[in-house]
Chain A
């Protein structure tokens, strides 16, 4: 099961590279979404390995905060900065 954590970390770094080299702004937001979903997978796998339940609360809060953040960045750009 340690190999799963290693592979997930490598995949997270490869997804985060998309944020650096993305040609447009929306590519970077897509990369942010990918990194977030992979980090939630990583938190769940680590919570299963250490057999502790309170890590799952962390994953839940992280998912909801990332949802609100990306939605409002997208709306802000869609309205060209006017609210």
Chain B
């Protein structure tokens, strides 16, 4: 029961992130919202699945994927935004 609530909470976070992609008009704010909110939703959903599954080989493997993905997700966003900054991409005002 608790696991299901945590999974739906994670889905709500991901939904807020998808709204934020369409709401903002600037590239850099869009990158910020997409990276942060999506990572929080990812962590919450996977913790919900671990709670629902209990402690066995399945949850340990899911935990491995979570730890690798926590390392990967900020690195990718940093690389994309750094590429846009160095290439001289001027976003609009505001």
Contacts and interface: CB of A to CB of B under 8 A. Distances in A.
Interface in B4-28: 4, 7-8, 11, 14-15, 17-18, 21-22, 27
A40 B65 contact: yes
Secondary structure class of chain B's binding surface, majority of residues: helix
Interface residues of B, number: 43
Contact of B65 (A29, A45, A60): A60
Given A30-B31, A48-B53, A70-B79, A63 B68 contact: yes
Interface of B: 4, 7-8, 11, 14-15, 17-18, 21-22, 27, 30-31, 34, 38, 42, 45-46, 49, 52-53, 57-58, 61-62, 64-65, 68-69, 72-73, 75-77, 79-84, 86-87, 89
